[in-house]
Structure 1
Amino acid sequence: MTTPLADYAKFAGKRIAIVEHMQNHPFVLGLHQAREHGLEVWLLTGDRNWYTHGHDWDTHPLGAAVDRVIDVDTTDLDAVLAVVTGDDGSPLVDGLTSFSDYHTVLAAQAARRLGLPGPDPAAVETANVKDRLRVALGDVPYNIPHVLVSDKDGLAEAARRLGFPMIAKPPAEAISYGVRRVDDMAQLTEAFEELSGVRRSLRGQPRSGEVLLETYVEGVEVSVETMTVNGRTHVFGVTSKDLFGDPAYIECGHTFPVPLPDEERDALYSVVIRTLEAIGYDHGPCHTEVRRTESGWRVIEANPRTPSSCMTMLVTDVTGRSPILDAWLLTIGEVPPIEPVVHNGGAAVRMIYPQRRGTLLRVDGVDDAAAVPGVQVLLHVEKGDHLLQRMDNSSCVGFTYCAGPDRLEAQALADKAAALLDFVVEEDGHDGAAGPDGAERP
């Protein structure tokens, strides 16, 4: 990733607290870049093992990228406030934030209580709880019909109102966890029984057992990366989204920027900006997923954080702006000079998934993949790790990333490098080679 063009000297002498964190390369790199400009970073975490998976914290990339780690219950607002507040009641930090979907609401609440810059907690919660977003959007044409179901007795009425196919999902989760299409009553009942039975999120917070059902909308899905400053939303551009795993929807690749005709682009940007205005989101980054249908754009989700899966790298290499660093400037009360956004070249990332579950023995082909012109191989698993096979983005084991003069050329190179990687695992007592594409339901 190229060095951002902006001057981040305003980080010097400032301190922020981050409530949990993303693990992938761009976010760790962002920490190093911010600290190089003088920012002091405290990481608040409730479970170091969630990051290390049993490995030594002292050798973990995230541990080396922050100045201080504070072990605290990051689901408890008062506990978080206690570790960032001095004896006189004043904050010990200049900013407090989170890029973790499971902690953005608490971070916004803590910042508000401390009198620090941050978004309205109610707006963040409305975005994160997907049925509330649907209610907030109301009857606008870019919303999607939905029903929130709390028991099996409501399924028949939901099917009558929405029809098939439909999407079933938890009302509040991340990384596409639990999201699937259902095509008939039998699949709907099965999906409800499975999703309603899960009463803890991937990060341990309680779940109600309710299931959100939405009309399935056919079309090409993209995301729009934005930064809202003082109530005005600035658009970095549009990112493509490659999906696999039907009836689940797992992200396997992205390119940036996606070119659109002026009229279509303006309509898309208007939908995104009006969505953020509808929920009162006036401060910070957002990653809004939108699907282009025959009847126009439809909002899938609005995520009040920076995007994951190396999408911040795509934006940085093409625009010269770092969404991560710009978000932290907002966190300490500074206004990043975002405008004008200029696109130069294109970039692509391929997400890599194991085909077989098991304990990782080695990864073959890394040198060959890294030798593909312009490609970075960014793996976040190591020998001894257990490779997941859940049908969500958490089973991703790394990325091949490429920036170049054109997004499609970069995509071809990233795909070429990914195809050279083989993940050799010990599966059921024997070795097995797992390629870079695909996943299976456990």
Structure 2
Amino acid sequence: MTTPLADYATFAGKRIAIVEHMQNHPFVLGLHQARENGLEVWLLTGDRSWYTHGHDWDSHPLAAAVDRVIDVDTTDLEAVLAVVTDDAGRPLVDGLTSFSDYHTLLAARAARRLALPGPDPEAVETANVKDRLRVALGDVPYNIPHMLVSSAGELAEAARRLGFPMIAKPPAEAISYGVRRVDDMAQLTEAFEELTRVRRSLRGQPRTGEVLLETYVEGVEVSVETMTVDGHTHVFGVTSKDLFGDPAYIECGHTFPVPLPDEEREALYGVVRATLDAIGYRHGPCHTEVRRTETGWRVIEANPRTPSSCMTMLVTDVTGRSPILDAWLLTIGEVPPIEPVVHRGGAAVRMIYPARRGTLKRVAGVEAAEAVPGVQVLLHVEKGDKLLQRMDNSSCVGFTYCAGPDRLEARALADKAAACLDFVVEEDESENGACAAEAGAGGEDGAENGSGAAGIGRS
């Protein structure tokens, strides 16, 4: 990050517990920045190997970014409460939170039990369980027709009610896991059979095997980054959401801020605020994904956490406010001085995906990528790591990031740096395939489309 941050001195002398954590560079950087301002951080984790992937914990960036690591079952509310309270049941921390989709609900419940600041757990659960969000929104024009199915016998009725194409997804997952477009009954049946077998989340929580089906809405997708304080939702701005597209919807890049005409921007902000009001979300950050269609804005999902994939860096460099640090201020009961939000310049990030499955041997072209003016190369894989184990956002191996006077110039530079990177793998013959390399990167509109598979490494 290049933008000097506003004063976060009120962290001094405070302590927070974080239930699991995001691994990307901005979140680790946020930990260091918070601790530099006097915040003590406890990391609660149920499985250190989820972060290390076979490497040594002490060498992991998170190990040096927190004051204390507590090993505890982070799916067990009572176990979490036990490690953050004294013998009399009083909290040992000033705040407790999580940015992990799989743990935001437990963190909200724990904070509520301890009378610490936090969002309403019911609001968090409604946001996280996507069919509940649809039900909560009801018949407003920015909702999307949907149907939750639990048996193959319901598929014909879903096809009749929703029509094709439609989107099939798990009702409660993250990183675009399992999300795909289906265009006919054969694809719908195949998607249902695959998704209904998912009885554990990517972090081990039980799942029902139900599948959420939604009418496909055509349009350009963006996200709105917000911070809700005492029921009022402050907007940092709008982020582009570039996707690889059909059949899987995987993010490949973002720019910030997206310029919109005043009337369209106010309509979008109104939709986001109304969505958060509808679910009772009155406290904390949110990353709401919305699609612009011919008939108006449609809400894709609301995520009660800060955004990932370096989007917090985009916001910080353009606004001077860190959504991560501001969220932690709320966690300890402080009100971040968010408004007025002023945009200065623009920023872009390209998510990098390898072209082939296999074991990483080396990354070539890093020096050339780092030589592109204004670009940071942020890789999070090492020699020996297995690449492209699934086709979702977890396949991302790093980012090229750029901030500058203009978001489109920043995107061009980030793309240029990404094109330098070459992920050389030892291929597994049984898993070889074109994978993500054949997908195109969509821009914000027809005039701003990226050039092909921008941000994808070659091997």
Question: Which structure 2 segments of 5+ residues have no match?
Answer: 441-459
The residue number in structure 2 matching 1:117 is 117
The residue number in structure 1 matching 2:69 is 69
The residue number in structure 2 matching 1:375 is 375
Structure 1 runs, 4 residues or longer, greater than 6 Å off: 432-436
Structure 2 matches for 1:174-193, cutoff 5 A?
174-193=174-193
In the alignment, does 2:36 pair up with 1:33?
no
Structure 1 residue 370 displacement after superposition: 0.4
* CA–CA distance in structure 1, aligned partners of residues 168 and 116 of structure 2: 37
* CA–CA distance in structure 2, aligned partners of residues 291 and 309 of structure 1: 19
The residue number in structure 2 matching 1:202 is 202
Q: For residues 361-385 of structure 1, give each alpha carbon's deviation from its aligned partner in whole angstroms, at most 9, with x where no partner exists.
A: 1000000000000000000001111
* CA–CA distance in structure 1, aligned partners of residues 423 and 436 of structure 2: 8
Structure 1 residue 92 displacement after superposition: 0.4
Match of 2:193, SS?
helix
Q: For residues 327-376 of structure 1, give each alpha carbon's deviation from its aligned partner in whole angstroms, at most 9, with x where no partner exists.
A: 00000000000000000000000000011111111000000000000000
The residue number in structure 2 matching 1:271 is 271
The residue number in structure 2 matching 1:167 is 167
The residue number in structure 1 matching 2:454 is none
For 1:426, the aligned partner's letter is: E
The residue number in structure 1 matching 2:84 is 84
Does the Cα contact within 8 Å between 2:3 and 2:318 map onto a contact in 1? no
Does the Cα contact within 8 Å between 1:197 and 1:209 map onto a contact in 2? yes
For 2:366, the aligned partner's letter is: V
Number of equivalences? 439
* CA–CA distance in structure 2, aligned partners of residues 390 and 349 of structure 1: 22
* CA–CA distance in structure 1, aligned partners of residues 301 and 101 of structure 2: 12
Does the Cα contact within 8 Å between 1:319 and 1:341 map onto a contact in 2? yes
The residue number in structure 2 matching 1:392 is 392
The residue number in structure 1 matching 2:98 is 98
Structure 2 matches for 1:36-435, cutoff 5 A?
36-428=36-428
Pair 1:4–1:283, CA change in 2 (3 A): farther
Pair 1:283–1:410, CA change in 2 (3 A): same
**Which shows bigger deviation, 244-253 or 265-274?**
244-253
* CA–CA distance in structure 2, aligned partners of residues 37 and 434 of structure 1: 46
* CA–CA distance in structure 1, aligned partners of residues 439 and 142 of structure 2: 32
Structure 1 residue 178 displacement after superposition: 0.2
Structure 1 residue 282 displacement after superposition: 0.2
The residue number in structure 1 matching 2:450 is none
Q: For residues 52-87 of structure 1, give each alpha carbon's deviation from its aligned partner in whole angstroms, at most 9, with x where no partner exists.
A: 000000000011100000000000000000000001
Q: For residues 223-278 of structure 1, give each alpha carbon's deviation from its aligned partner in whole angstroms, at most 9, with x where no partner exists.
A: 00000001100000000011005111000000000000000000000000000000
Does the Cα contact within 8 Å between 1:424 and 1:434 map onto a contact in 2? no
* CA–CA distance in structure 2, aligned partners of residues 380 and 280 of structure 1: 36
Does the Cα contact within 8 Å between 2:236 and 2:315 map onto a contact in 1? yes
* CA–CA distance in structure 2, aligned partners of residues 76 and 435 of structure 1: 37
For 2:203, the aligned partner's letter is: R
Structure 1 residue 434 displacement after superposition: 9.8
* CA–CA distance in structure 2, aligned partners of residues 208 and 259 of structure 1: 41
* CA–CA distance in structure 2, aligned partners of residues 325 and 340 of structure 1: 17
For 2:321, the aligned partner's letter is: R
Q: Cα RMSD (Å) of the superposition?
A: 1.6
Does the Cα contact within 8 Å between 1:52 and 1:60 map onto a contact in 2? yes
Structure 1 residue 428 displacement after superposition: 2.7
* CA–CA distance in structure 1, aligned partners of residues 231 and 138 of structure 2: 21
Match of 1:419, SS?
helix
TM-score under structure 1 normalisation? 0.97
Identity in percent: 89
Pair 1:438–1:306, CA change in 2 (3 A): farther
Match of 2:223, SS?
strand
* CA–CA distance in structure 2, aligned partners of residues 438 and 60 of structure 1: 33
Match of 2:89, SS?
coil
* CA–CA distance in structure 2, aligned partners of residues 83 and 328 of structure 1: 20
* CA–CA distance in structure 1, aligned partners of residues 287 and 113 of structure 2: 25
Does the Cα contact within 8 Å between 2:244 and 2:439 map onto a contact in 1? no
Match of 2:287, SS?
strand
Structure 1 residue 388 displacement after superposition: 2.1
Structure 1 residue 18 displacement after superposition: 0.2
Question: Which structure 1 segments of 5+ residues have no match?
Answer: none
* CA–CA distance in structure 2, aligned partners of residues 29 and 278 of structure 1: 33
* CA–CA distance in structure 1, aligned partners of residues 303 and 83 of structure 2: 27
Does the Cα contact within 8 Å between 2:96 and 2:107 map onto a contact in 1? yes
Does the Cα contact within 8 Å between 1:226 and 1:236 map onto a contact in 2? yes
TM-score under structure 2 normalisation? 0.94
Structure 1 residue 198 displacement after superposition: 1.0
Structure 1 residue 429 displacement after superposition: 7.5
The residue number in structure 1 matching 2:451 is none
The residue number in structure 2 matching 1:24 is 24
Q: For residues 357-416 of structure 1, give each alpha carbon's deviation from its aligned partner in whole angstroms, at most 9, with x where no partner exists.
A: 111110000000000000000000011111124121000000000000000000000000
The residue number in structure 1 matching 2:443 is none
* CA–CA distance in structure 2, aligned partners of residues 80 and 218 of structure 1: 43
